Structure 1
């Protein structure tokens, strides 16, 4: 991982959720009643969609595959991804379906509260996915919001020897049971891992449980406590980057996208995690889920500073 070299340009496919984010900026998160917002923003969101936008910002060639309604929100999401440089030919808008929309409230410390409508009327079938396009890809990523699509993507990627990255956000147990046997790198949020592992498990025991379900590496992002992962080489950890957070919206999505980018570039796991942690930390210093994603050179500059 050499910042002095040319930036890599891996090709990635990201599959899963795209949402339209409506964000209110407030001084403190509301506990009820009325709250006045100091700002209002609207933009594209969703785990895999944000990951694809991050890949494109870093210089990768990103494709987003997913589903939305043939409605105003769906068309706006598609347009915004295209503006980010993401290939949306695998992003299908379905007549009669309703798109996913999120309401996000962000306080003065960068913490946020999210209410998400996941959409309605979206067909589960994944037989229309352009899987032959994986022949030119370097890695794939999926979130758990469309398990049928993720299973089809991961199976096709495994046939081609491509690394598979799963965004382990909170989901039903059967979704992870379906996807983990086809997953190389399962990177959970702390709530996602806690919800999946047996009750009462600590972080390490939870990672062991996830690894036992079929993935080759199980990791968990721990916010200010950094990152911990387990693979055949045992447990490893990385500290968090100290930054002044303005908005943490999309930080996990960006982390996953940057990690898949680094794996697609052929980097070792530890270097890939160092890079993705830097990208996500820098994102938190700017408002919005995508607007704060740094370019490759800026991210590498932070990585190199931490080595000094």
Structure 2
């Protein structure tokens, strides 16, 4: 893992912008707002309809770009209307999509989301089909030019390959820990520096129905560290987050904000955290910075549309420190 000092020196000596690579999942969300969720079968009228790009690593890349980084998304989709739409939207946010490959004969991941006025929602997701697992096409030699690398757990082979290249080059790696198989984590965690779990993801990883106290949470985070990662964390929404490292268990409280929409907040946190690490910040400072970015996003409607820029985050943190 690259040190704080080395990361800052790398940015200064190269006189280069912050380069963040995000690899993994992208999904096209098709959203139908309704007054209330349907009960039973039938025909129902939506008040609107819109399509939005989503996906863990894809949203993280957009967050990094919004924060001023030279963000690149590496991933797979089908050479279909959904894939083309996602590629174009991400490019519109300033993300480098050169390695966002659309494969002929493959089908993109698409979700149908019915959202009620009270915020409750039903989601049906198609994860895609015929997307090649082999990461041989990835330009791994470019990893050494990055300041941090992020991946989610959906494309295991790709995550393992890019993390191994980053580890060899001394580039910090950040894993978005969602629900996945034991085999997936056994493959990726040995190459991971920072594993950031959601609560459902950590419960599934730990093999427990509940992680209702810090003793159990610590044991689950220790399990991740035992597989090779250096920092293991769990984000808990309004309850803040916990992380475990060589010095013990630490906390970052959530910022108190008026929450409007939490869509994509976890993905945004991960992208912001990767940026902070790439800048050479300490883990504690990176956790606070990422928490602020995610909190600001929650005060606005929309997933990607609600992501703040760097100036807004700095103003928010300055006001909170007074």
TM-score, normalising length: structure 1: 0.92
Change (3 A) 1:161 1:45: same
Q: Structure 1 residue 307: deviation in Å?
A: 1.8
Question: Any conservation in 2 of the 1:62–1:87 contact (CA below 8 Å)?
Answer: yes
1:10 matches 2:24: no
Aligned mate of 1:296, from 302, 307, 310: 310
Contact 2:144-2:171 within 8 A present in 1 as well? no
**Counterpart of 2:250?**
236
CA contact 2:179–2:200 (8 Å) conserved in 1: yes
Give secondary structure in 1 for the equivalent of 2:307.
coil
Q: Mark the runs of 5 or more structure 2 residues left unpaired by the alignment.
A: 1-15
Q: How many Å separate the matches in 1 of 2:267 and 2:33?
A: 20
Question: For structure 1, which runs of at least 5 residues remain unmatched after alignment?
Answer: 1-7
1:281 aligns with 2:295: yes
Indicate the residue corresponding to 2:320 in structure 1.
306
Would the alpha carbon gap of residues 51 and 31 (structure 1) be closer, same or farther in structure 2, given more than 3 Å must change? farther
SS at match of 1:171: coil
Match of 1:54 among 63, 66, 76: 63
Partner SS for 1:88: coil
Give the whole-Å Cα distance in 2 for the aligned partners of 1:279 and 1:110: 22
Q: 1:220 to 1:208 in 2, by over 3 A?
A: same
Q: In the TM superposition, what is the alpha-carbon distance from 1:9 to its structure 2 partner?
A: 4.0
Counterpart CA distance in 2 for 1:283 and 1:23 is 19
Per the TM alignment, residue 15 of structure 1 is displaced from its structure 2 partner at its CA by 0.2
Alignment of 1:1-308 (within 5 A): 9-30=17-38, 32-33=40-41, 36-108=45-117, 110=119, 112-199=121-208, 202-308=216-322
Deviates more, 1:199-208 or 1:41-50: 199-208
Distance 1:254 1:154, change over 3 A: same
Cα pair distance change 1:9/1:280, threshold 3 Å = farther
* 8 Å Cα contact 1:109-1:247 kept in structure 2: no
Structure 1 stretch displaced more, 42-51 or 295-304:
295-304
| Offset, 1:113 | 4.3
Q: Give the distance between the partners of 1:239 and 1:81, measured in 2 at CA.
A: 31
Q: Which residue of 2 aligns with 1:5?
A: none
Q: 3-state SS of the aligned residue for 1:89? A: coil
Q: Which has the higher helix share?
A: 2
Bigger shift: residues 222-231 or 203-212: 203-212
Greater gyration radius: 2
The structure-2 alpha-carbon separation of the partners of 1:118 and 1:294, relative to structure 1 and needing over 3 Å to count, comes to same
Given that 1:16 and 1:66 are in contact with CA atoms closer than 8 Å, whether structure 2 keeps it comes out as: yes
Name segments (4+ residues, structure 1) moved above 6 Å.
none
TM-score (ref. length: structure 2): 0.88
Matches of 2:320 and 2:218 in 1, distance apart?
A: 26
